[in-house]
Structure 1
Amino acid sequence: MSAPSRPDPGRLAVPRRSPTAPATAAGRPRALHVIDVENLSGCSAPTTADLHYVLRCYLTQVGIRPDDSSLAATDVVLAGRAAFVYAAAGIRFCVGMGSSGADRALLRTIDAGWMAGRFGALVIASGDGIFSEVAASAAARGVEVWQVSGRGGTSRRLQATARRHVRLALGPQRTEAAAG
Structure 2
Amino acid sequence: MSLLVSARAHVTDNWQRLLRYCGTSAVGVVLGQTILRVCYDLLGWSGLVSNLVAFIIANIPVYFLYRGWVWDSDGPTRWGRVVLPFWLVSLAGLALSSLAVGLVDAATDNGWYITAASVGAFGTVWLVKYAVCDRYLFGAPLEGDESKQIFLGTANDGSQSAGVR
TM-score by length of 1: 0.26
Q: Which has the higher helix share?
A: 2
TM-score by length of 2: 0.27
Q: Which has the higher strand share?
A: 1
